[in-house]
Amino acid sequence: MGLELYLDLLSQPCRSIYIFARSNNIPFEFKHVELFKGPSNSEGAGKVSLLKKVPALKDGDFTLAECTAILLYLSRKYNTPDHWYPADIQQRARVDEYLSWHHANIRANAPKTMWIKVLIPLFTGQPLPSEKLQEVMEGLSTSLKQFEERFLQDKDFIIGSEISLADLVAIVELMQPVGVGCDIFEDRPRLREWRRRVEDAVGKELFFQAHEMILNIKELSNIQIDPQLKEQLAPVLMKMLK
């Protein structure tokens, strides 16, 4: 049995794993999960991941959940180029530092743009609260300022002259606002050039293939959402409107 990856490319962590595996020519079977279509569509992932969510990995009898753990597993098993997760202890620590900071900052803010502009209206039928979006964009702006000044600085990539897992995890998250019309790169030339270098490093064709669903997010309104899932999530999402 070969490597299986359970992924929904609407998910940022799933996209990072997909891009990493493809760009490093890691052979795997792509198990496409459509989370918004309800439990039956994520049943396979539920059997693989104890957390019953994507991304999930199955390698023979071995299963694994959580994006960072999967990325590190793949980098070690397939001996990917050193720049992704350097052997040098201090360079590796810089990758770890960013990954630790990322969750409470970029990941805590960037995805909210999609929830507010697309998913909350889709699940609840409620109009977009513009003041809530403004609040989220202000929080994201603070995180982006820290990202540029603390991590990117004047370097090509987060830890130096080559791409690492830190850059990959960051870029997929920052494409989420772009997909809903909040172009966070437009007025930030340093960030915009970093994005261009990341695209070139993984290959533009692969980059845009992975982000195709996000960049055409308006088509999500045509998805038939599982009624049970809608009933479960609508009250939770309504709380975000307050």
pLDDT tens readout for residues 63-92 = 999 999 999 999 999 999 999 999 999 999
Residue 108 has a CB neighbour count (10 Å cut-off) of 14
Alpha-carbon span 16 to 21, nearest angstrom: 9
Question: Looking at 92-101, 120-129, 215-224, which range is the least confident one?
Answer: 215-224
Instruction: Give whole-number Cα distances, 68 to 59, 62, 98, 221, 240, in Å.
Output: 16, 16, 12, 30, 27
pLDDT tens sequence across 129-182: 778 888 889 999 999 999 999 999 999 999 999 999 999 999 999 999 999 889
What confidence score (pLDDT) does residue 34 get? 85
Are residues 157 and 202 in contact, defined by beta-carbon separation less than 8 angstroms? no
Fold exhibited by the domain 89-241: Glutathione S-transferase Yfyf (Class Pi); Chain A, domain 2 (1.20.1050)
Are residues 226 and 192 in contact, defined by beta-carbon separation less than 8 angstroms? no
CATH 1.20.1050.10 residue spans of the chain: 89-241
Whether pLDDT at 222 is above 90: no
Which residue from 5, 31, 10 is spatially nearest to 20, judged by alpha carbons?
5
Residue 116 has a CB neighbour count (10 Å cut-off) of 24
Alpha-carbon span 170 to 168, nearest angstrom: 5
**What pTM did the predictor assign?**
0.90
Burial 197-209 (b: 16+ CB within 10 A, else e): ebbebbeeeebee
- pLDDT tier at 14 (50, 70, 90 boundaries)? very high
Question: Looking at 63-67, 119-123, 181-185, 188-192, which range is the least confident one?
Answer: 119-123
What confidence score (pLDDT) does residue 40 get? 44
Write the class of the CATH domain 3-80.
alpha beta
Helix runs in 25-164, H state only: 43-48, 67-77, 89-104, 106-109, 112-114, 120-124, 130-146
Are residues 155 and 198 in contact, defined by beta-carbon separation less than 8 angstroms? no
Which residue from 36, 210, 37, 42 is spatially nearest to 119, judged by alpha carbons?
36
pLDDT mean over 176-189: 93
CATH 3.40.30.10 residue spans of the chain: 3-80
- Supply 103's token pair: 């969750």
